[in-house]
């Protein structure tokens, strides 16, 4: 059946001559463009792409990540980075180990001290084990816990100006999240090969201010 169809199509092409050949060429180039697009989906305003790069404990030295930061952060004016490490382009940098950052505090305390910022870069250790083994023994690896990130994200939602951006790095694409008023604009998957987790970069825009209720531990004042 398939062979018969191919034969009939070839026959038609021979009869139609050059115009048909041009048509087929266009069709084939459309097909190959569609194949290339498999790694870049643009739908409902969200761009998703996937690249390969060597891993590094200093995330921002990874070339496609440095390029993405260059596109969104520019000269870093008005940006804050609570886990700055050694390579942050943000103006307001913080790292518990110093590492040349402007502030040397716990990231959550640093965020609580901020008011309005243009954007936040959020690149904490991705697990407790990673925190202890590769970055710092301080606070028993708390910075690699999802509960700790959630409290940081509440502060980020409070300080990022309406229309401002966040760029989160993790092994998941949760980002700051819809519930906190953020909408994903771009996801970059950086594959590091079979023995490593991907680094997932999630770029979000603050589209809606949401009041975040303080947790019992955050309430300042005398306890009864
Ligand atoms: C994934 S690294 C950031 C790397 C950085 N983006 C770069 O490319 O240079 C995480 C950083 O968080 C810092 N850190 C760990 N726990 C912290 C905490 N509780 N408060 C602030 N910084 C912390 C570590 O010292 C480490 O430099």
Token reading at 145:
């816990």
What's the pLDDT tens digit per position in 167-213? Answer: 999 999 999 999 999 999 999 999 999 999 999 999 999 998 776 66
Q: Which atom of ligand 1 lies at the shortest distance from residue 83's CA?
A: 12
> Distance from the CA of 85 to the center of ligand 1, in angstroms?
5
pLDDT band at 110 (very low <50, low <70, confident <90, very high): very high
What's the pLDDT tens digit per position in 54-70? Answer: 999 999 999 999 999 99
CA distance 137 to 96: 10
Assess if CATH 3.40.50.150 describes domain 46-221: yes
What's the pLDDT tens digit per position in 2-55? Answer: 445 545 544 544 555 555 554 444 444 444 433 333 345 555 689 999 999 999
Per the rule left: phi > 0, alpha: psi between -120 and 50, beta: everything else, 65 is alpha
What's the pLDDT tens digit per position in 69-93? Answer: 999 999 999 999 999 999 999 999 9
Q: Where are the beta strands (DSSP E) in the chain?
A: 40-43, 46-52, 79-81, 92-93, 117-122, 160-170, 182-191, 199-206
Kindly state if the Cβ of 89 falls inside 6 Å of ligand 1: no
> Distance from the CA of 86 to the center of ligand 1, in angstroms?
9
CA distance 101 to 205: 25
What's the pLDDT tens digit per position in 125-178? Answer: 999 999 999 999 999 999 999 999 999 999 999 999 999 999 999 999 999 999
């Amino acid at each position: 059946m398939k062979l018969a169809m191919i034969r009939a199509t070839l026959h038609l092409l021979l009869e139609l001559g050059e115009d048909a050949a041009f048509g087929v060429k266009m069709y084939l180039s459309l097909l190959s463009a569609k194949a290339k697009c498999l790694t870049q989906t643009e739908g409902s305003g969200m761009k998703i792409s996937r690249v390969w790069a060597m891993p590094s404990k200093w995330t921002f030295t990874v070339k496609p990540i440095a390029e993405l930061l260059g596109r969104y952060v520019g000269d870093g004016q008005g940006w804050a980075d609570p886990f700055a490490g050694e390579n942050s382009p943000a103006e307001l940098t913080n790292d518990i180990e110093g590492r040349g950052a402007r502030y040397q505090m716990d990231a959550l305390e640093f965020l609580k001290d901020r008011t309005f910022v243009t954007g936040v870069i959020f690149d904490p250790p991705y697990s407790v084990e990673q925190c202890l083994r590769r970055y710092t023994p301080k606070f028993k690896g708390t910075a690699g816990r999802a509960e700790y990130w959630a409290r940081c994200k509440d502060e980020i939602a409070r300080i990022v100006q309406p229309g401002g951006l966040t760029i989160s790095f993790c092994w998941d694409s949760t980002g700051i999240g819809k519930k906190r008023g953020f909408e994903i604009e771009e996801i970059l998957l950086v594959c590091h090969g079979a023995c490593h987790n991907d680094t997932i970069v999630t770029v979000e825009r603050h589209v809606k201010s949401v009041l975040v209720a303080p947790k019992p531990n955050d309430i300042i004042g005398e306890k009864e």
